[in-house]
Amino acid sequence: MTTLLTETLARIRPIDPRWIERARARQLQLTKPAGSLGRLEDVANRMAAIQETLAPAADRAVIVLFAADHGVCAEGVNPYPQAVTAQMVANYLRGGAGINALARVAAVDLRVVDAGVAHDIPETAGLTQRAIARGTANFCQGPAMSPEQAVAALELGIEMSEAGAHLLGIGEMGIANTTSAAAITAALTGLDPTSVAGRGAGADDACMVRKRAALARALDLHGPHLRGPLEVLARLGGFEIGAMAGVCLGGAANRRAVVVDGFISTAAAALAVRLCPAAADYLIPAHRSTEPGHAPLLEIIGHRPLLDLEMRLGEGTGAALAIPVIRAAVAAFTGMATFQSADVSEAS
Amino acid sequence: MTTLLTETLARIRPIDPRWIERARARQLQLTKPAGSLGRLEDVANRMAAIQETLAPAADRAVIVLFAADHGVCAEGVNPYPQAVTAQMVANYLRGGAGINALARVAAVDLRVVDAGVAHDIPETAGLTQRAIARGTANFCQGPAMSPEQAVAALELGIEMSEAGAHLLGIGEMGIANTTSAAAITAALTGLDPTSVAGRGAGADDACMVRKRAALARALDLHGPHLRGPLEVLARLGGFEIGAMAGVCLGGAANRRAVVVDGFISTAAAALAVRLCPAAADYLIPAHRSTEPGHAPLLEIIGHRPLLDLEMRLGEGTGAALAIPVIRAAVAAFTGMATFQSADVSEAS
C-alpha cells in the first residue's frame, strides 16, 4: 500500500558525489587561499550537491516548530508543569519567546504547529492546529502512541516540509521531551538510558533521580519490542519528535537541506536516518547541545554541528543561529570573484 | 604632551560589574529555562555592560578592513606575490572578495582602508587612503617602522573607530602578515617564534623553513629591545596591525564592542590589551583560527571565541559571521517576553 510515508521514503536519494567534486573545483577558483573558508566551504559544497546546482540558494528559510505533550511528564521528570507547553505556544504566537527574537533578527520565517498539546492554547491566531492527540501516553506504563499515530506524526512533518523554502529548520516544545529523547537515544544506540539523561530545562537532583528511574523502567518495559525506528518512535517518542523526523524525510525527498536544532531535534533526525540512511546527506546539525545524549545521536547523523554556544533551549533557536552561517557559506560560494575575473595572482 | 593616543588610553574604563549583575537578573525573568541560551546570555550581558543599558543595540555594525604590506615578504615567507595585497584591495572595492559576500549577507557595512600598501591600487572608489608608508621595512634587518609610524598607525585606527556603529569589527589584508603576527605573538608571550608560525595563506614546506628562519632571526635581532607593546608594534608589526589595535582602543574609549577576527586581528587586539588592560572588556573574539599562534593570543584577551569553523582567511570574515550571533544575543535579551508578561509558569 502506497502511503505518503512510503512514497516519501522511496523518493529519497543520496546526494551525487560528482556535485561535491564540481563545487570543490569551483571553490579553488575563488579569490581566497585554498580551503581558507574551512567548514563554510563544506557547507556550500553540500548545498550545491543537495540542490544540484553551482548556484544554490538559501534565502528563504523556514523553521517549523512543533509542540506536543508527553505522558511521562506524570513521573515528575521536569521542573515545569505540563501547562507550560500550551503557555509557550501562546508565547510563540505573540512573538515573545527566544525563537521569535532569533528568527526575526535572522529573517527566518517561523511556523508553529500543534502536533499534540494537552492543554487549551489561549491564543490561536497563526497556529497550525494538527494535534494527533492531546499528548502521548506515559511510556513507563505502555507505548507512548499507537503505530498509526507514529505514522501520522511522520506524515504531518512530511506535509509541513512543503514550505516553499530553500532551507528548512526544525524546532520543538514539549514539557518532558528530553526524557523522551533520552529514551530514543538509548533505544537507537544501545547506551544505558541513565547515561544519556541530562538536566533538560533545569531538573534538580531529586528530579534527575525520577528521570533516570523512569527511563530505566521504560527501557525495561519496551526494550524487547524495539525492532525498528517506527517502533522506537511509537513506544518512546512524542508527536513533535515524529513530526520533526517527517520534516527530515520530506526535506530529503524534495532535495532541501534540513537544519537540525539540538538534542530533541537530533533524536528526531536520527530516527529519520534509521528509517532512510540516505536522508543524512540532507541534514545540517546546527549546534552542539549541552545534553549528554546529543553526541551519540550526532554520530548517527554523521555530521558535526556548526556551532557550540552551550545552549539547551530548543524551539529551533540553534537552527536560527546556524541559518545565517549557511547563508554566508552560500553567499561566498556564489558571490565571490574568481582569480581570473578579479585579475588576482594565484599562489606559486 | 596630550596626543590622540594618550587621550584615548586615558578615557578607557573597565566595564562596571554592576551592569553585568543587572543584566543577569533580567535574563532570569525571560521566558526560557535559566541559562539555556548559554554563551548568548554572556554576550548580551556584556553588551549591556559595555553600553550601560538594559536595551543594548547591535543594529549598525561596521567592519573596518585595513590593508598594508610587509617588508618581511622579501624573505619568501608566503606563497603569494606582494602585489596581491593591492590586487585584493581592488577586489574589495569591486565587491568580489569573501568579506564582501559575508558582510552583504549579514547586513554589515565594510570600510576599506589603505594603511600602507606597497603597490598601486588599480581602482580607488570607496577606498579610504591613509597609507602611513608604502609598506613596512623588513624586520629581519631592522625595525619594521619608526616609533612615530607606530603611533600614527594606532591613531589611524582610533580615528576609524568613530564609525557611528553600535558594533565595530576589525579585519586585515597584507601579504606576509601572519609572519608579523607570529613575531608579535612570540614577543608578547615569550613563546618560541617557530612554535607559533603556521601555514598562513598556504605556505608549503620550503616556505615554512624560510618563515621559521625569518622569525628566529627577527626575534634574535629585536628581542633585547622589546620593552613594551609600542616597541613590539614598531619593530615587528605592520601598519594594518597597529591600526586594528587602534580600533580596539578607540572602541573601548567610546564604549563600543569590538569584534576581533582571526590570528592577525587578535595579535592587534593583544597589543591593545597590553597598552591598556581594561580594553579587554570591550573585545569579542569572533572565531578560533587554525593558526597555531591564535590560542596564546586569545589568553591575553581573556575571552573565548564564539565560533570555530576552521577558517583562516582573515579580511574580517570571522567577524562578519560572529556579528549575527551577537545581534541574536541582543535580540533575545531585549525582545523576549518575561514569565510575568507572557503568563508562563516558572520552574518549581
Q: Are A157 and A218 found together in one domain?
A: yes
What part of A 121-140 touches B (C-beta under 8 Å)? 122
A199 domain-assigned = yes
pLDDT in the model for residue A224: 94
Q: Does A348 touch chain B (CB under 8 A)?
A: yes
How far is B81 from chain A, CA to nearest CA, in Å?
A: 7
The beta-carbon neighbor of A38 closest among B91, B97, B312 is B312
Q: Does B339 touch chain A (CB under 8 A)?
A: no
CATH of the domain at B224: 3.40.50.10210
Q: Are B156 and B16 found together in one domain?
A: no
Phi and psi (nearest 5°) for A260? -95, 130
Q: pLDDT for A131-181, tens place per residue?
A: 999 999 999 999 999 999 999 999 999 999 998 899 999 999 999 999 999
Contact A100 B31 (CB under 8 A): no
Amino acid at A107: A
Q: Are B170 and B309 found together in one domain?
A: yes
Q: Does B173 touch chain A (CB under 8 A)?
A: no
- Host H or E run for residue A213: helix A205-222
Q: Are A305 and A322 found together in one domain?
A: yes
Q: Is the pLDDT of residue A249 over 70?
A: yes
Sheet of A127-129: strand order equals A127-129, A109-116, A61-68, A167-173, A257-260, A283-285
Q: pLDDT for B230-258, tens place per residue?
A: 999 999 999 999 999 999 999 999 999 99
A90 domain-assigned = yes
Give me the residues paired with residue B66 across strands.
Answer: B113, B172
A308 neighbourhood in chain B, CB within 8 Å: 308
Q: Which residue, A116, A132, A122, A121, is CA-closest to A70?
A: A116
Contact B343 A290 (CB under 8 A): no
pLDDT in the model for residue A1: 61
What DSSP string runs through A38-65?
Answer: THHHHHHHHHHHHHTSSS----SEEEEE
Q: Domains in chain A: how many in total?
A: 2
Q: Does B177 touch chain A (CB under 8 A)?
A: no
Contact B311 A32 (CB under 8 A): no
B348 domain-assigned = no
pLDDT in the model for residue B348: 77
Give me the residues paired with residue A26 across strands.
Answer: none
Contact A101 B313 (CB under 8 A): no
pLDDT in the model for residue B123: 67
Question: Cβ of A194: how many Cβ atoms within 10 Å?
Answer: 15
A80 neighbourhood in chain B, CB within 8 Å: 33, 345-348
The C-alpha cell that represents B129 in the structure block:
587612503
B334 neighbourhood in chain A, CB within 8 Å: 101
A80 domain-assigned = yes
Q: Are B145 and B267 found together in one domain?
A: yes
How far is A282 from chain B, CA to nearest CA, in Å?
A: 19
Q: Are A52 and A114 found together in one domain?
A: no
What DSSP string runs through A171-207?
Answer: EEE-TTHHHHHHHHHHHHH---GGGG---TTT--HHH
What length is written for chain B? Answer: 348
Contacts of A122 (CB under 8 A, 6+ apart): A86, A87, A90, B343
The beta-carbon neighbor of A84 closest among B94, B324, B345 is B345
Chain centre to alpha carbon of residue A68: 15
pLDDT in the model for residue B238: 98
The beta-carbon neighbor of A37 closest among B34, B311, B347 is B311
Give me the residues paired with residue A67 across strands.
Answer: A114, A173
Query: Strand, helix or coil at A116?
Result: strand
Size of interface A-B (CB pairs under 8 A): 204
pLDDT in the model for residue A60: 97
Q: Are A139 and A274 found together in one domain?
A: yes
How far is A5 from chain B, CA to nearest CA, in Å?
A: 34
Contact A345 B313 (CB under 8 A): no
Kindly list the catalytic residues of A: 315
Q: Are A185 and A294 found together in one domain?
A: yes
A271 domain-assigned = yes
Q: Are A338 and A320 found together in one domain?
A: no
Cα-based distances in Å from A36 to A245, B202, B321: 34, 9, 14
Question: Cβ of A198: how many Cβ atoms within 10 Å?
Answer: 18
Q: Is the pLDDT of residue A73 over 80?
A: yes
The C-alpha cell 573545483 sits at A25
Q: Are A302 and A243 found together in one domain?
A: yes
pLDDT in the model for residue A348: 77
Contact B96 A37 (CB under 8 A): no
pLDDT in tens, chain B (348 residues): 679 999 999 999 999 999 999 999 999 999 999 999 999 999 999 999 999 999 999 999 999 999 999 999 999 999 999 999 999 999 999 999 999 999 999 999 999 999 999 998 876 778 999 999 999 999 999 999 999 999 999 999 999 999 889 999 999 999 999 999 999 999 999 999 989 999 988 899 999 999 999 999 999 999 999 999 999 999 999 999 999 999 999 999 999 999 999 999 999 999 999 999 999 999 999 999 999 999 999 999 999 999 999 999 999 999 999 999 999 999 999 999 999 999 999 887
- Host H or E run for residue A169: strand A167-173
The beta-carbon neighbor of A91 closest among B31, B101, B202 is B31
Contact A37 B317 (CB under 8 A): yes
pLDDT in the model for residue A177: 97
Q: Which residue, A332, A273, A326, is CA-closest to A61?
A: A326
Q: Is the pLDDT of residue A128 over 80?
A: yes
Q: Are B152 and B30 found together in one domain?
A: no
Query: Strand, helix or coil at A230?
Result: helix
pLDDT in the model for residue B125: 78
Contact B40 A309 (CB under 8 A): yes
Give me the residues paired with residue B260 across strands.
Answer: B285
Q: Return the residue of A nearest to B343 by Cα.
A: A87
A324 neighbourhood in chain B, CB within 8 Å: 105-106, 321, 324-325
What part of B 69-98 touches A (C-beta under 8 Å)? 79-81, 83-84, 87-88, 90-91, 94, 96-98
A347 domain-assigned = no
Q: Does A339 touch chain B (CB under 8 A)?
A: no
Contact A342 B90 (CB under 8 A): yes
Q: Are B142 and B109 found together in one domain?
A: yes
Maximum distance among all Cα pairs of chain A, rounded to whole angstroms: 70
What HEC string does chain B produce?
CCCHHHHHHHHCCCCCHHHHHHHHHHHHHECCCCCCCCHHHHHHHHHHHHHCCCCCCCCCEEEEEEEECCHHHHHCCCCCCCHHHHHHHHHHHHCCCHHHHHHHHCCCEEEEEEEECCCCCCCCCCEEECCCCCCCCCCCCCCCCCHHHHHHHHHHHHHHCCCCCCEEEEEEECCCHHHHHHHHHHHHHCCCHHHHCCCCCCCCHHHHHHHHHHHHHHHHHHHHHCCCHHHHHHHHCCHHHHHHHHHHHHHHHCCCEEEECCHHHHHHHHHHHHHCHHHHHHEEECECCCCCCHHHHHHHHCCCCCECCCCCCCCCHHHHHHHHHHHHHHHHHHHCCEHHHHCCCCCC
Q: Which residue, B68, B204, B37, is CA-closest to B145?
A: B68
The C-alpha cell that represents A258 in the structure block:
534540513
Q: Does B312 touch chain A (CB under 8 A)?
A: yes
The C-alpha cell that represents A25 in the structure block:
573545483
Q: Return the residue of B nearest to A42 by Cα.
A: B309
Q: What is the pairing mode between strands B127-129 and B167-173?
A: unpaired
pLDDT in the model for residue B347: 84
Contact A106 B324 (CB under 8 A): yes
A90 neighbourhood in chain B, CB within 8 Å: 342-343
B347 domain-assigned = no
Average pLDDT over residues A48-70: 98
Q: Does B104 touch chain A (CB under 8 A)?
A: yes
Q: Does A113 touch chain B (CB under 8 A)?
A: no
**In angstroms, rounded to a whole number, what is the distance separating the alpha carbons of residues B59 and B51?**
13
**In angstroms, rounded to a whole number, what is the distance separating the alpha carbons of residues B280 and B251?**
11
CB environment B112-139: b (16+ within 10 A), e (fewer): bbbbbbbbebeeeeebbebbbbebbbbb
CATH of the domain at B44: 1.10.1610.10
Q: Give the percent of chain A with pLDDT over 70.
A: 99
Contact A202 B343 (CB under 8 A): no
Amino acid at A276: C
Contact B104 A347 (CB under 8 A): no
The beta-carbon neighbor of A202 closest among B33, B317, B320 is B33
Contact B172, B261 (CB under 8 A): yes
Domain range spanning residue A38? 3-57+331-342
Interface test with A, best of B43, B87, B105 (most A CBs within 10 A): B105
The C-alpha cell that represents A54 in the structure block:
553551482
Q: Does A324 touch chain B (CB under 8 A)?
A: yes
Contact B105 A79 (CB under 8 A): no
Kindly list the catalytic residues of B: 315
A348 domain-assigned = no
